[in-house]
Amino acid sequence: MRQDRGHHLSDTGLLLITVALVIAVWQGIWVAAFAVACGVLLRQRPLVVLLCASAALVGSWVGARAWEQAAPRQLGDYTGWAEIVADPAPFGAGLRVTIEIDDERFDAWLYGGARRKVVDRQSGQFLWVDGRRTALGSNARRAQVRHVVGRFQVEVAGDVIDGSPLAVANNRVRDRLRIVAESTMTDVDAALFTGLVIGDDSRQPVWMVDSFRASGLSHLTAVSGQNVAFVLAAALPLLRWLRPWWRWAATVALIVWFMALTRFEPSVLRAGVMAVLATTAYVRGQQVRPVRILSLAVLGLVAVDPLLVWSVGFWLSVGATLGVCTVGPWLAPRLPGPAWLRLPMAVTLGAQAGVALPSVLVFGRLPIVSLPANLAAVPAAGFVMLYGLPAGLLASVLPAALQPLVMLPATVATRWVSTVASVAAAVEPSPLWASLWWSIAVACLLGWWWWSRSRANGEDVSI
């Protein structure tokens, strides 16, 4: 495979253009001047500077337009079919259901009999409703990021019918995985299993969500590039027999199917688009750096859906990927210890560096236990992601007596991940102490790097 050197734009230039677009969507048109200044200061080619300014102008326009379209076009009474566009999510005694009416999304909150009727329904189905469309109240911004423009006050929730053939097939797969998990595991483990495999965290209890967040493991229950890679790895024995372009078409179809299965969450959108770009480069005989693929994916996704700029999950996914692609390779040869330990440590530290800023800004902390917790939990979680989907589908067609045996490896691995999260959350210190320990860890890492570099250069490092 040849190294691709035919690009008109360097990786740094493309990354700068992507940053200009993103910040312009976020902050507005003044970023155009900032982008030009950055391009000049970084000594970029005139073409890159021009494209940065153009990206900033386009970003400011699409960002403003996206917020304009977040307002409802029509309010008032409505009776008829509404498409369920997100799996119903329990919130206390209520159930939040996001429905789409005339290409506009509304959040409906159901209680009592209406809640029981819809609680087991899934995205892609159609619900007969009678009610009233109203404007958003509090937390409007958070709802608008999900493309929700208003609320729907349900008076009557009627029949439910299936949607498109793709939605029916995906819902059948999700149902089978959920039923098998619930019949072979405890309720808590089953909820975690579906979160690890297909990102279905709707049944996870609040304490589990809190423990995974406090331990720095919440990324495991959000479908990401790791899930996509394991799905492709599981299909590789079949894909390898196809001719190159047929293999490309089958791989892209598999990626799109998995994205649909996992509800096109922001993290899986990033991972799926990157996988399609990498597959396309491979079949063309090109070797493209991950940073370039990430820049192209973010550039395209934000241009199509500017509201992703306000998605926390999207930026955690992007930040972790950027850290793994840049910080991880830099750290791997510089860390102490054997090679089998240095690589996972470098990847974990790179991911933590990438998510540090969004984690601190949104959650107010970066767990110090995240490094050992990830080293302990990620291998087991990766096994569940690789084994769980085919094993769950196989178990769903076997007699009930054989299902626990097929699912036993996934059950054990899922329980291990849950235990690691619980223990790590219990020993995680307060945010103040966590900040102090992070400072010590960074200082030790820098000290080790300085000592190793000085020793390699033959300098006297004795005190």
| Per-residue pLDDT tens digits for 322-359 | 998 898 888 888 777 787 788 888 888 888 888 887 87
With a pLDDT cut of 90, the percent of the chain lying above it is 40
pLDDT in tens, 433-450: 677 777 777 777 677 667
Q: Pick the most confident of 121-130, 331-340, 358-367.
A: 121-130
Top pLDDT among 32 and 89 is at 89
What is the maximal distance between C-alpha atoms in the chain?
A: 81
Domains and CATH numbers, the chain: 2-68 (no CATH), 76-163 (2.40.50.140), 172-446 (no CATH)
- CA nearest neighbour of 106 among 80, 155, 66, 71: 71
Q: CA-CA distance, 71 to 134, in Å (whole number)?
A: 11
Q: CA-CA distance, 84 to 96, in Å (whole number)?
A: 11
The pLDDT assigned to 4 comes to 47
Amino acid letter, residue 277:
L
With a pLDDT cut of 70, the percent of the chain lying above it is 94
The pLDDT assigned to 101 comes to 95
Q: CA-CA distance, 266 to 337, in Å (whole number)?
A: 36
* Of the listed ranges 208-222, 256-270, 288-302, the one predicted with least confidence: 208-222
Residue 359 in tokens: 């984690």
Task: Give the bridge partners for 148, in sequence order.
Answer: 105
The pLDDT assigned to 462 comes to 47
Mean predicted confidence (pLDDT) in 40-66: 85
pLDDT at 252 over 50: yes
pLDDT at 456 over 90: no
Arithmetic mean of pLDDT over the chain: 86
pLDDT in tens, 138-180: 778 888 999 999 999 999 998 999 998 989 999 999 999 999 9
Mean predicted confidence (pLDDT) in 386-404: 93
Task: Give the bridge partners for 396, in sequence order.
Answer: none
pTM of the model: 0.85
Sign of the dihedral through C-alpha 362, 215, 378, 173: negative
Mean predicted confidence (pLDDT) in 292-313: 93
80 pLDDT band, cuts 50/70/90, is very high
Checking phi first, is residue 263 left (phi over 0); if not, alpha (psi -120 to 50) or beta? left
The pLDDT assigned to 37 comes to 76
